[in-house]
Amino acid sequence: MMKRFFVIAFIISAFLAVNISSALAAETLRLITWSGYTPKVLLDKFEKETGIKVMPTNSSNEEMIAKLRATRGAGFDLAQPSQDRISSVQEKYNLYQPIDLSKVKTDQIIPSMLEAVKKNTMVNGKPHAVPFCWGSSGLVINRKFARDAQDYTDILNKKYAGRISYRLKRPTLLALAFAMGDDPFAKYGDINAYRALMEKVGQAMIEGKALVKNYWTNGDALLQSMRTEEVYLAMAWDKGGWKLHAENPEIDFFAPKSGALGWIDTFAIPAKSENVEGAYKWINFILRPENAAVFTNLDTTANCSKGANKFVDPAISGNFERSFPPAAIENIKWYPPVPAKLEEIEGKILDKVKAAK
């Protein structure tokens, strides 16, 4: 008697669990993205328009790849990796499905950016992503204390000892390599030359380690230490610098002499996405000029939507004009696709820097 009861109860609960989860999946879009990319107003508007509820997970490039790799491309319906981190992992682990450009309203996207992303994410003759927004890494400087900082090399400058902060991540290595007069992107194809260059940069970072206050890992924590004037000079993203500029005009984002490092974040559809139609709907929705402008006004990150500029707040577009005179735009170093194996070299050097005394 008891036994039958248990069996029935078990079967019923198993059925319920399956039904409930599939019912939820039908109306949701699981989006793995960056913080700030999914403003609440837009999520609400999208749900009203299409009935699809977006469930964002904030992440980073490395975590996105690790998460999708663990499930072989399942668990999320849409992802937003940077364009340079797609083709090599796609070749190796097959995380994404090709993007069907006939389902994307491509006339909403700035053509040059669409072409660049298509070319850089081309695997087996098919593009795997479309652009969403772009920005750059450079220097955030408090001019009250660091009047004449010019280039990435200043993060190793004794003049600012104890007031410097940067990330222990690959952009820092690349930036310092550029500032030392080399071109790391040109050496992407030659592993040995690249390793030698990175070792040189790593050595310089170890020598300059005493000057660093801390290696920041969290954007908000960095903004806090710049706000309290504990840090004068940081290598960081443009949007952080612009946020601080709105609070304190002495602080601003500067494109360094050897060039800001430009990235483009994209939309790519994971291989086992359960809501491909919803994914295309979200892509077309958020790239609509008036929606993309809402995102840019809130996050200060520039978007890739054609015609969004006329909806962007003058204060926000002013940021861009202030930090990027025409020569600085010409000088932006856009990340080319990262070949496999480079991350391992970089990882080891960064570990060495962190472990050094």
Partner 1 sequence: MKNQKRWGLFFFLSPVLLWLFLLIVLPHIDLLAMSFRIENDDGQMVWSLSNYLNFFEEPIYWLTFVRTAIFSILVTFLTFVIALPVAFYITKVVAPKFQGFLLVLLLLPFWVSELVRVYGWMILLRESGVINHFLIKLGLLNQPIEMLYKDATMILGLVYTSMLFMVVPITSVLDSLDNSLIEAAYDLGANMWTILFKIIIPHATPGIVSGSIVVFMLTLGNYLTPNLMGGKNSLWFTEQIYNQFIASFNWNQGSAFGFLLLVLSSIVVWLGLKLTRQNLRKVVQ
Contact residues for partner 1 (CB under 8 A)?
2-3, 6, 62-63, 65-66, 69, 89, 92, 162, 169, 209, 212-215, 217, 225, 228-230, 340, 343-344, 346-348, 350-352, 354-355, 357
Which among 253, 235, 238, 100 has a CA at the least distance from the CA of 174?
235
Least Cβ distance, residue 202 to partner 1 (angstroms): 11
Q: Which CB sits closer to partner 1, 194 or 285? A: 194
The least CB distance from residue 215 to partner 1, in Å, is: 5
Give me 123's structure tokens: 């695997």
Report helix, strand and coil shares of the chain as percent, to nearest 5.
Answer: 50, 20, 30
What is the smallest separation between the CB atom of 283 and partner 1, expressed in angstroms? Answer: 27
The least distance separating partner 1 from the CB of residue 9, rounded to whole angstroms, comes to 11
Amino acid identity of residue 329, one-letter, is I
Closer of 51 and 189 to partner 1 (Cβ): 189
Of residues 111 and 347, the one with the C-beta less far from partner 1: 347
Q: Which is nearer to partner 1, 187 or 213 (CB)?
A: 213
DSSP classification of residue 52: P
Q: Return the number of the residue (47 or 199) whose C-beta is nearest partner 1.
A: 199
Q: Tokens standing for 194?
A: 């690249």
- Displacement of CA 318 from its chain's centroid (Å): 22
Residue 150 CB, nearest approach to partner 1 (Å): 24
Q: Which is nearer to partner 1, 5 or 23 (CB)?
A: 5
CB of 41 to partner 1, least distance (A): 28
CA distance linking residue 29 with residue 17, whole number of Å: 19
Q: Which of 158, 163, 162, 172 is nearest to 143 (CA)?
A: 163
Element (H, E) at 201: helix 191-207
Which helix (H) or strand (E) segment is 170 a member of? helix 170-179
What contacts 24+ positions apart, CB below 8 Å, involve 222-225?
222/165, 225/165
Nearer to partner 1, 213 or 281 (CB): 213
Q: How far is the CB of 173 from partner 1 (least distance, A)?
A: 12
Residue 48 or 357: the one with the smaller Cβ distance to partner 1 is 357
CB of 13 to partner 1, least distance (A): 13
Q: How far is the CB of 354 from partner 1 (least distance, A)?
A: 5
Tell the burial category of 256 from Cβ atoms under 10 Å away from its Cβ (0-12, 13-18, 19+): buried
Q: How far apart are the first and last CA of the chain?
A: 70
Which are the contacts of 296, defined by CB distance < 8 A and separation ≥ 6? 133, 302, 303, 308, 312, 316
Please provide the DSSP assignment of 203-222 as one string: HHHHHTGGGEEEE---HHHH
Residue 159, classed as helix, strand or coil, is helix
Q: Which is nearer to partner 1, 327 or 355 (CB)?
A: 355
